[in-house]
Amino acid sequence: MRFLHGPFFMQGDEACAEGAIVAGCRVFAGYPITPSTEIAERLAARLPQVGGVFIQMEDELSSIALIIGASYAGAKVMTATSGPGMSLFMENIGLAFMTEAPIVIVNVMRGGPSTGQPTRASQGDVMQAKWGSHGDYEIIALSPFSVQEMFDLTIEAFNLAEKFRTPVILLADEIVGHMREKVIIKLPEEVEIVNRKKPLSKESFLPFKPDEDLVPPMACFGEGFKVHVTGLTHDFSGFPSSVDPEVHWKLVKRLCDKIRLNSEKIIKVDERFMEDAEIVVVAYGAPARSSLRAVRIARERGLKVGLCRLITLWPFPQRKFLEYAKHTKAFIVVEMNYGQIVREVERCVQGKSVFFLPKMGGDPHTPNEILNLIYEVSGK
């Protein structure tokens, strides 16, 4: 086994690959697409060094299908893509949710729709991550804003996928994926590693009967348990029961509730200068870096401004925003799209003023652009 350890100067995509290795990922299947390709390139070289397998697939459809199967064979698995590739993932994200297959999907976002801007940054896939597949489902999506977080949140994504037996998306943007800065690579024994629950006995075993936390222990193929897996509505046995309304209601409700009822355990936000903030800047990913600079300048000039950086995009931290709304005059939402998370902020803080600073085309917001809106909203 060859693990890296210590400080390195590397790209965000490379740090993501190293985080996957530390988390225990041993199978990666993918199809190269800018700006996520460096993740596949890195893992093609690194996975064989730690006993893992890299597989270049013919397209994105087969990539995600392979990791679902490998997850059920007992491996920790990941795939990575961008833009159009994420669109091709959508049907199988639903399959992974329905079959409770723990998988990690990395989407390094670029400008869209369609092939759009392959080499330019965007945050245009946020709502797609939440709503892109069909039927009722819940997704977990994390948003890194530094190379260090590309490493740390990749590990977190694996831990959440294993804990809740569900697909988890690392939703980065091209700027974070391609920037280079210092990152501290830790050994597996230096970080928390979560592994999926395993059944304790083969007697009376039912592969989809949940424990009290709504998550069933996961028996994998080849371990001696009787396991049947299908995307059709199924009962505890795993066999189809697609015409019984009660079975469907109980199954889909449980799959959604295991995320909804644990949302407070999943959600992470980074709050800066929020103690007395009258104006809250809301940002995530690369724009959060410019936003933090703008908020610091505003504070130096006497304005009561805070920053809420969303680390967890989905589930959305609505309780946090309900609390903010009690003592905040206005919100400024900074996004590299034409209006996505701003809709969630508006929904949660009804009655408060919400100002939106969109940007498309690939260039990030400058601190001055954000600062000018802070001045305008504050009236100073």
Per-residue pLDDT tens listing for the chain (380 residues):
689 999 999 999 999 999 999 999 999 999 999 999 999 999 999 999 999 999 999 999 999 999 999 999 999 999 999 999 999 999 999 999 999 999 999 999 999 999 999 999 999 999 999 999 999 999 999 999 999 999 999 999 999 999 999 999 999 999 999 999 999 999 999 999 999 999 999 988 999 999 999 999 999 999 999 999 999 999 999 999 999 999 999 999 999 999 999 999 999 999 999 999 999 999 999 999 999 999 999 999 999 999 999 999 999 999 999 999 999 999 999 999 999 999 999 999 988 999 999 999 999 999 999 999 999 999 97
Hey, what amino acid is at 142? Answer: L
Could you tell me which residues come within 8 angstroms of residue 148 by beta carbon, excluding any fewer than 6 positions away?
15, 181, 182, 183, 184
Model pLDDT, residue 91:
97
Distance CA 357, CA 176 (A): 20
How many other C-beta atoms lie within 10 A of the C-beta of residue 285?
31
Distance CA 34, CA 280 (A): 34
229: closest CA among 165, 163, 164?
165
Distance CA 368, CA 51 (A): 48
Residue listed under structure tokens 């730690």: 50
> Would strands 269-272 and 305-310 be described as parallel, antiparallel, or unpaired?
antiparallel
CA dihedral 237, 243, 244, 250 (to 10 degrees): 70
Model pLDDT, residue 1:
63
Distance CA 214, CA 23 (A): 24
